[in-house]
A and B are shown apart, each in its own frame.
Chain A
Amino acid sequence: MAEEKKLFKVTIDNITVEVEPGTTILNAARMIGGDVTPPAMCYYSKLKGSGGKCRTCLVEVAAGSTADPRPMPKLVASCRTTVMDGMIVKNITSEKVPDARAGVVEFLLLNHPLDCPVCDQAGECHLQDLSFDHGKEGTRYEFKRRTFEKHNLGPYIQLHMTRCILCYRCVYTADQLTEKRAHGVLDRGDHAQIATFIEKNLDSDFIGNVIDVCPVGALTDKTFRFKNRVWFTKPVDAHRNCTKCCGEVQLWMRGDEVFRVTARKDEWGEVKESTKGGTGWICNDCRFDKKSVSDWTIEGPSNVSRHSVISQGHYVGLQKPTETMPAVMGGRQPRLLMDIHSVSEVNPESVELSKINRPAHSSDFNSDKS
């Protein structure tokens, strides 16, 4: 029965894509890329059940489908809402989304210690990116920020509960990659915390991957702790023959020294597919114990595609994020995000400032009127 697979058309911020039924709005937006893609702090495409919690990916559904074009009454979590044929979604073009998202960012930062200067995640932290893109300066919170009793998770993994945003990714990781999950969320509400119930080391073979999935500096690599800032190190793709995992990693090097080993990440900050198939999770041996160049076959500098500070260095094959603004704005090239030219009397669209070979004078604008 060769039934033709019907694709669903979905329009996000004026850009239409065709996707398979069952695709979430977020993944459809990721196919478009660029600014149209909502930020996702808890969803992780490789972890079953993840998403829906942080609420940063909220979008407005302006029309549910061709069959039922009514708008959805509330903003929806794009990571957990599947598209319908003819759905119209507004993300950056929505009037409600930026306000709600700024609210979520404020909530996420409310009790965050803002200790980036001493945090190993700084430079590759999704909360930093999120607050830079969607947050406000300053805080309206005037109370003492939340602190927790320290929990020791053993020799490999450092837990800073004050930085945790309770995305649950590490919990799903332990559920799905290890034999028996030894940590989880204790208590509830704003006193909920990641912990082992009775003080216990996390030492299962694949548990190190919680470091890679953690969007913030709540779970970091103890063997890398305070050794260097990520932006001073250089990511290099390397592999070795490993009996436990795919053995495909990124080495974070300075000179000949391997400071840190992580799995390879894609442009959304998620662990990539391995060339051998399946997700390229790596084992604790590769991550924590192989810190010498001779342990590895170096492939070459990594493609850096995330818009984190790492990409500010000059890397071979740097992939810039997709530029979607012209499409969102119906073909117009943005000069400024808010196009003042179409409404401005003094700075009309017909005057191309870049074509004037000297500083512009008022006469340049007035001549247009005469």
Chain B
Amino acid sequence: MGVKLLLDKAHVPGIRSYEVYRREGGYAAVEKALKMSPNDVVEEVKKSGLRGRGGAGFPSGMKWSFLAKPEGVPRYLVCNADESEPGTFKDRYLMEFIPHLLIEGLIVSSYALGSSRTYIYIRGEYAWIPDILEQAIAEANANGWLGKNIMGTGFDCQIYVQRGAGAYICGEETALIESLEGKRGNPRIKPPFPAVKGLYDCPTVVNNVETLAAVVPIMNIGGEAYSKIGVGRSTGTKLISACGNINKPGVYEIDMTISVEEFIYSDEYCGGIANGKKLKACIPGGSSVPILPANLLLKTAKGETRYMNYESLSDGGFATGSMMGSGGFIVLDEDQCVVRHTLSLARFYRHESCGQCSPCREGTGWMEKILHKIEYGKGQMSDIDLLWDIQRRIEGNTICPLGDAAAWPVAAAIRHFRDEFEWHVLNPEESQTRNFGLAHYADPREVVA
């Protein structure tokens, strides 16, 4: 049983309520932090080695220390709860079952950054969660953890919940800020970065829900101790939302020392592939990261065991590796069609592109149309090369990373599953009635019945 820092109390009956949360040791992190100087809190987070859980994995303490602090200008902390990446649903779990953990993390972080008005920007489709959060905020207010002069320190703080309207792009931090300001959710052109000019043109930090919640255990056990959990630069624990053809889909908290194989097959986590099928492929970090075939997922190209952490998952770069991303772990069994799967991702990115820059606006739609053609038995061999060419010209040439996120899954699917695309083209009729199956990237493991 691995260490649990975030979800250890999530199943205590009544933990959603303030009384139970407090009885279980809640708000100790606020008590501790507010006795320290804000800079010391930032130092603690730096020491912890915590990396952003929103996708990019940028060291959080470093991000905090970049925040500009001009005199007389407010600073803002914004919690990114837009979680719209297909396959990722860990933040929802955390907010729904243990909302006070996020609120507590927000208070500590607001104190560290000097934010007196802190916002939670939450995905519109999470329709029932704002009520849960607002209830928790009201309880925190009633018990003196929020409001004016918290714990007599002179620090004022209020937290507001803002609902999004259902656009994936509003999870990109600058689009989120635009949306929060009441504008169209178009990503801004950077620089300036939010740390200098963010919400209402003031210095702003945008952090993921899980990142901010992790600040609580960091305060409680100390940055030093936190950094000892995990391995290398992958410190602490990580929430993984596992879905697809596995026996036990759900949200798991792991310390980042376990292997991918253990995560998929052990009963503590995914419990193996459902229905006695074999593993074909997996997207280990949410829909934007490269898909990996079974052989490269369980072992790196060098033949070493692959682990569930930032470094190991990206071992081999995009040629033979993937990314930790946002922790959305999507498993595909032998019956799944990679072409169809890639088409559905392409459709998502086409639909969610904000349309500001031409490569993403036009390229995403074009890729979807070509994939549609191949999937429905009308493709040609040249279409595969054309797809490659399109994704290549989107990647790196756009305003925000959504363009890359649309290009990578297509690139990875062609890179690792080209034979399956070709089979679709060569067998237009057969491909309408059956799937390609496993081929050479077969699951190296025996099927355990």
- Complex formed: what's the CA distance from A284 to B355 in Å? 30
Q: Please tell me if the beta carbons of A108 and B358 are within 8 angstroms of each other in the complex.
A: yes
Given the known interface contacts A74-B396, A103-B397, A104-B397, the answer about A189 and B354 at a Cβ–Cβ threshold of 8 Å is yes
Given the known interface contacts A104-B358, A140-B386, the answer about A55 and B353 at a Cβ–Cβ threshold of 8 Å is no
Q: Please tell me if the beta carbons of B365 and A53 are within 8 angstroms of each other in the complex.
A: no
B198 lies within 8 A of chain A by Cβ: no
Q: How far is the CB of B394 from chain A (nearest CB, A)?
A: 8
Q: Please tell me if the beta carbons of A55 and B357 are within 8 angstroms of each other in the complex.
A: yes
- Complex formed: what's the CA distance from A110 to B363 in Å? 9
Q: B369 — which chain A residues lie within 8 A by C-beta?
A: 143
Interchain CB contact (< 8 A) of A108 among B356, B362, B399: B362
Q: Please tell me if the beta carbons of B397 and A189 are within 8 angstroms of each other in the complex.
A: no
Report B351-395 CB contacts with A as 1/0, cut-off 8 Å: 111111111011111100100000000000000001000000100
Q: Please tell me if the beta carbons of B358 and A165 are within 8 angstroms of each other in the complex.
A: yes
Q: B411 — which chain A residues lie within 8 A by C-beta?
A: none
Residues 28 to 83 of chain A near chain B (Cβ within 8 Å):
51-56, 58, 73-75, 77, 80
Report B397-416 CB contacts with A as 1/0, cut-off 8 Å: 11100000000000000000
Residues 182 to 212 of chain A near chain B (Cβ within 8 Å):
184-185, 187-192
A23 lies within 8 A of chain B by Cβ: no
Q: Please tell me if the beta carbons of B397 and A58 are within 8 angstroms of each other in the complex.
A: yes
Q: How far is the CB of B121 from chain A (nearest CB, A)?
A: 18
A111 lies within 8 A of chain B by Cβ: yes
- Complex formed: what's the CA distance from A104 to B351 in Å? 20
Interface size band for B: 20 to 34
Q: How far is the CB of B42 from chain A (nearest CB, A)?
A: 26
Q: Please tell me if the beta carbons of A54 and B167 are within 8 angstroms of each other in the complex.
A: no
B243 lies within 8 A of chain A by Cβ: no
B189 lies within 8 A of chain A by Cβ: yes
Q: Please tell me if the beta carbons of B189 and A166 are within 8 angstroms of each other in the complex.
A: no
Q: A143 — which chain B residues lie within 8 A by C-beta?
A: 366, 369
B169 lies within 8 A of chain A by Cβ: yes
B440 lies within 8 A of chain A by Cβ: no
A141 lies within 8 A of chain B by Cβ: yes
- Complex formed: what's the CA distance from A191 to B347 in Å? 13
Residues 152 to 183 of chain B near chain A (Cβ within 8 Å):
167, 169
Given the known interface contacts A52-B189, A100-B397, the answer about A189 and B365 at a Cβ–Cβ threshold of 8 Å is yes
Q: Please tell me if the beta carbons of B184 and A190 are within 8 angstroms of each other in the complex.
A: no
Interchain CB contact (< 8 A) of A53 among B184, B351, B356, B364: B356
A132 lies within 8 A of chain B by Cβ: no
Q: Please tell me if the beta carbons of B397 and A53 are within 8 angstroms of each other in the complex.
A: no
Q: B299 — which chain A residues lie within 8 A by C-beta?
A: none
Q: What is the chain B residue whose CB lies nearest that of A58?
A: B397
Q: Please tell me if the beta carbons of B361 and A104 are within 8 angstroms of each other in the complex.
A: no
Q: A111 — which chain B residues lie within 8 A by C-beta?
A: 362
- Complex formed: what's the CA distance from A56 to B366 in Å? 19
Q: Please tell me if the beta carbons of A107 and B359 are within 8 angstroms of each other in the complex.
A: yes
Q: How far is the CB of B319 from chain A (nearest CB, A)?
A: 17
Describe B's contact surface by its main secondary structure.
Answer: helix
Given the known interface contacts A74-B397, A77-B189, A103-B397, the answer about A189 and B358 at a Cβ–Cβ threshold of 8 Å is no
Residues 320 to 366 of chain B near chain A (Cβ within 8 Å):
350-359, 361-366
Given the known interface contacts A100-B393, A189-B350, the answer about A107 and B169 at a Cβ–Cβ threshold of 8 Å is no
Q: What is the chain B residue whose CB lies nearest that of A190?
A: B365
Q: A73 — which chain B residues lie within 8 A by C-beta?
A: 396
Q: A104 — which chain B residues lie within 8 A by C-beta?
A: 358-359, 393, 397
Given the known interface contacts A184-B184, A190-B350, the answer about A110 and B397 at a Cβ–Cβ threshold of 8 Å is no
- Complex formed: what's the CA distance from A108 to B396 in Å? 17
Q: A140 — which chain B residues lie within 8 A by C-beta?
A: 386
- Complex formed: what's the CA distance from A187 to B169 in Å? 13
Q: A106 — which chain B residues lie within 8 A by C-beta?
A: 393
Q: Please tell me if the beta carbons of B358 and A54 are within 8 angstroms of each other in the complex.
A: yes
Q: Please tell me if the beta carbons of B397 and A188 are within 8 angstroms of each other in the complex.
A: no
Q: Please tell me if the beta carbons of A110 and B366 are within 8 angstroms of each other in the complex.
A: yes
Q: Please tell me if the beta carbons of A53 and B353 are within 8 angstroms of each other in the complex.
A: no
- Complex formed: what's the CA distance from A22 to B379 in Å? 50
Q: B358 — which chain A residues lie within 8 A by C-beta?
A: 53-56, 104, 107-108, 165-166
Interchain CB contact (< 8 A) of A189 among B189, B353, B398, B399: B353
Interchain CB contact (< 8 A) of A190 among B355, B386, B396, B398: B355
Given the known interface contacts A74-B397, A188-B353, the answer about A107 and B167 at a Cβ–Cβ threshold of 8 Å is no
Given the known interface contacts A52-B189, A140-B386, the answer about A189 and B184 at a Cβ–Cβ threshold of 8 Å is no
Q: A55 — which chain B residues lie within 8 A by C-beta?
A: 357-359, 397-398
A106, A111, A189, A191: which has the most chain B beta carbons within 10 Å? Answer: A189
Residues 99 to 116 of chain A near chain B (Cβ within 8 Å):
99-100, 103-104, 106-108, 110-111
Report B1-13 CB contacts with A as 1/0, cut-off 8 Å: 0000000000000
Q: How far is the CB of A73 from chain B (nearest CB, A)?
A: 8
- Complex formed: what's the CA distance from A111 to B396 in Å? 22
Q: How far is the CB of A319 from chain B (nearest CB, A)?
A: 30
Q: Please tell me if the beta carbons of A107 and B184 are within 8 angstroms of each other in the complex.
A: no
Given the known interface contacts A103-B393, A103-B397, the answer about A53 and B359 at a Cβ–Cβ threshold of 8 Å is no
Q: How far is the CB of A180 from chain B (nearest CB, A)?
A: 15
Q: What is the chain A residue whose CB lies nearest that of B399?
A: A52
Q: Please tell me if the beta carbons of B350 and A51 are within 8 angstroms of each other in the complex.
A: no
Q: Please tell me if the beta carbons of B359 and A166 are within 8 angstroms of each other in the complex.
A: no
Q: Please tell me if the beta carbons of A103 and B359 are within 8 angstroms of each other in the complex.
A: yes
Q: B169 — which chain A residues lie within 8 A by C-beta?
A: 188
A77, A108, A141, A190: which has the most chain B beta carbons within 10 Å? Answer: A190
Q: How far is the CB of A85 from chain B (nearest CB, A)?
A: 17
Q: B397 — which chain A residues lie within 8 A by C-beta?
A: 55, 58, 74-75, 100, 103-104
Q: A75 — which chain B residues lie within 8 A by C-beta?
A: 396-397
Q: How far is the CB of A201 from chain B (nearest CB, A)?
A: 22
Q: What is the chain B residue whose CB lies nearest that of A186?
A: B184
- Complex formed: what's the CA distance from A315 to B396 in Å? 43
Given the known interface contacts A52-B399, A77-B189, A140-B386, the answer about A190 and B356 at a Cβ–Cβ threshold of 8 Å is no
- Complex formed: what's the CA distance from A149 to B357 in Å? 22
Q: How far is the CB of A172 from chain B (nearest CB, A)?
A: 13
Q: What is the chain A residue whose CB lies nearest that of B365?
A: A190
Q: What is the chain B residue whose CB lies nearest that of A184?
A: B184
Q: How far is the CB of A274 from chain B (nearest CB, A)?
A: 29
Additional A-B contacts beyond A104-B397, A140-B386, A188-B352 (13; CB < 8 A): A53-B358, A53-B399, A55-B358, A77-B189, A77-B399, A104-B359, A107-B359, A188-B353, A188-B354, A189-B354, A189-B361, A190-B353, A192-B354
- A-side residues, CB < 8 A to B, are 51-56, 58, 73-75, 77, 80, 99-100, 103-104, 106-108, 110-111, 140-141, 143, 165-166, 168, 184-185, 187-192
Question: What are 19 A-B contacts defined by CB distance under 8 Å?
Answer: A52-B357, A53-B356, A53-B357, A55-B397, A74-B397, A75-B396, A107-B359, A107-B361, A108-B358, A111-B362, A166-B356, A168-B356, A185-B184, A188-B353, A189-B353, A189-B361, A189-B364, A190-B365, A191-B355
